[in-house]
Amino acid sequence: MKKSVFILLVAFLSASTIFAQADKDLKSASKALSKYFLDPGGNASLLDESLELLNKAFQSDDIKSMASSWITRGEIYNEVANNEFKQKALNPDHVIKIGDAAIQAFQAYAQAYKLAEKKGDKKTIIAGLKEVEDYLNNFGIFAYQEQDYASAFKNFQSTLAAADLLKSAGETSRLDQEENAYDDQLFFAAISGYYGENKADSKHLFEKLYKMESNEPIVYEALYNINKEEGKEDAIKYLEAGRERFPDDTSILFAEINHYLTEGKLEELIGKLKEAIAKEPDNVSVYTTLGSVYDQLQAASLEEGNGEKATEYFDAAHDYYSQALAKDEGNFEAIYSMGALYYNKAATFVDKLNEYAADLTPAGMKKYDATKLEMDGLFEKALPYFKQAESVKGDDPNTLIALKEIYARLNDLEMSGTYKAKYEALGGGR
């Protein structure tokens, strides 16, 4: 029995010793930080010492169970954040050493608030939270300006959490002091997560903005992209809502165009693209895209056996490619597309030609000659466009293949061989 009591006593004394040492480390951390601030340049090592002692103290479960310990931790990190902010304000080139100081301070105060029972402790915590709000916002701005969106997201997100904690405590936040301040903070938190590596985490922030009918068009585009990446079939509803709210916003319009392109909804695209041309009449890519839509519709009409509709679509495609070239005669996409328009139409005659080749009657031979003449005429029209495309972008394999095939169809085997060699020189056919 005496032995058991002795063991319990030793264990108690050991635990007391560990706590005493942790408490001592906590106090030493505060002292080291105070000395550091007296001469930051000369006492640089004391900052590291202070944080090392702080983290060492928090290895103790007893320390972590006390509100006062977390208050001390919050105060230390608040002082670090304050010092970093002052240096950055005085010297924009200053590189912040403890980038998460404000976040650490907020998290410490948040934990302290959970544990606090004394009114005095709660008062101290509230004061600390109100101070750290400014640092979180400023550190978020610094990070955002430097395009460190991951850090900006964490700081802005903590700012929102701090405001929510203060509100739950019946206190006002800095975000309550100005109209739309909370909404703006919510937006910058969401957009930082979107630009950084936290798209999934920023989704609920964008959804809040969406329900608030945000006046920022990118909110709707971001929600579309995030939901699209998640495989949500109704992702388009966000673009549609954005288009309804911002009918003149081109970013949402083009996002919608890309959606319909991906989905292959060609008929819906025509109106969207014509609208885009009206908004950006000098954007050559819109003309070539619309030309491509008509080209695809032409191919679909030919498969359906609707020659009249195919001709209508061919003429429309030709018109928009021509408009693109009129705006930029050296635009590769427009040049190549015009060549491909003639080439693809010529290729539709191949099956007929093979059919007529098997008919050795005079009527069959006449049809063969007429069809070949028409097909060769289309290949000849395509040829100068592909030659021009080669002069703009000589290493494009599709252009070289087209030229090889056209010369072969026109029975110029020497030139066909030349382009075959050029294509193979690029690694083609391997």
DSSP letters, 207-263, are HHHHHTT-S-HHHHHHHHHHHHHTT-GGGHHHHHHHHHH-TT-HHHHHHHHHHHHHH
CB count within 10 Å of CB 97 equals 13
CA distances from 82 to 26, 75, 101, 102, 128 (A): 20, 10, 9, 9, 12
> In sequence order, what are the residues at sequence separation of 6 or more whose Cβ sits closer than 8 angstroms to the Cβ of residue 206?
190, 194, 219, 222, 223, 226
Q: How far apart are CA 48 and CA 43, in angstroms?
A: 10
Q: What is the pLDDT of residue 3?
A: 53
DSSP code of residue 174: G
1's tokens: 């029995």
Over the range 168-186, which residues count as b (16 or more CB within 10 Å of their CB) and which as e?
eeeeebbbeeeeeebbebb
Torsion angle in degrees (nearest 10) through CA of 123, 129, 130, 136: 170
What mean pLDDT comes out for the span 412-426? 91
Domain count within the chain: 1
Sole residue written with tokens 């290895």: 59
pLDDT, tens digit, for every residue of 228-246?
A: 988 888 899 999 999 889 8
DSSP H helices in 66-196: 67-90, 101-115, 119-145, 149-168, 181-195
192's tokens: 């930082």
Q: What is the pLDDT of residue 179?
A: 82
For position 376, which CATH number holds?
1.25.40
Comparing 60 with 2, which gets the higher pLDDT? Answer: 60
User: Which one-letter amino acid corresponds to residue 12?
Assistant: F
In this structure, are residues 34 and 79 in contact, taking their beta carbons and an 8 Å threshold? no
Over the range 116-137, which residues count as b (16 or more CB within 10 Å of their CB) and which as e?
beeeebbebbbebbbbbbebbb
- Say if 406 falls within a structural domain: yes
- Say if 356 falls within a structural domain: yes
Q: How far apart are CA 391 and CA 397, in angstroms?
A: 13
Q: What is the pLDDT of residue 428?
A: 61
End-to-end CA distance of the chain: 86
CB count within 10 Å of CB 51 equals 19
Does residue 137 register a pLDDT over 70? yes
Among candidates 124, 222, 113, which has minimal Cα distance to 161? 113
Q: What is the pLDDT of residue 19?
A: 59
Average pLDDT, the chain: 87
- Say if 57 falls within a structural domain: no
Give the model's confidence band at 182: pLDDT under 50 very low, under 70 low, under 90 confident, else very high.
very high
Give the model's confidence band at 16: pLDDT under 50 very low, under 70 low, under 90 confident, else very high.
low
Work out the burial of residue 269: count CB atoms within 10 Å of its CB; fewer than 13 is exposed, 13-18 middle, 19 or more buried: buried
Structural domain harbouring 428: 330-430
- Say if 78 falls within a structural domain: no
pLDDT, tens digit, for every residue of 200-222?
A: 899 999 999 999 999 999 999 99
- Say if 303 falls within a structural domain: no
312's tokens: 């209508």
- Say if 3 falls within a structural domain: no
In this structure, are residues 349 and 371 in contact, taking their beta carbons and an 8 Å threshold? yes
- Say if 293 falls within a structural domain: no
- Say if 411 falls within a structural domain: yes
pLDDT, tens digit, for every residue of 68-87?
A: 889 989 988 998 898 889 88
